[in-house]
Amino acid sequence: MIRVLLPAHLRTLARVEGEVKLDVEGKATQRSVFDALEASYPMLRGTIRDQVTHERRAFVRFFACEEDLSQESPDDLLPEAVATGAEPLLVVGAMAGG
């Protein structure tokens, strides 16, 4: 079970409260987690990563275990604590005013 905490706007869009819990097949990577997230919540397609290239949107960051994982390869293994559900993967909208 992998825990994902979405930013407020995406929680509203996906109509979820709190963390999303996902069963992820195979290795826990950004790609496998977001594949599972988008399969469960199709309305999130295109909001975190590009629909075609699957590249992270420019103003979205991925944090976990007090580390910024945004620049990691989408196929790198996520930290063990995320893979076991001990820690959530945080999807964060970049800070900005307005």
**Binding site residues, another protein, CB under 8 A:** 7-10, 12-13, 42-43, 45-48, 51-52, 57, 59-60, 93-94, 96
CB under 8 Å to 65, separation ≥6 — which residues? 79, 81, 82, 87
Nearer to another protein, 11 or 79 (CB): 11
Instruction: Tell me the closest approach of the beta carbon of residue 67 to another protein, in angstroms.
Output: 21
Instruction: Tell me the closest approach of the beta carbon of residue 32 to another protein, in angstroms.
Output: 21
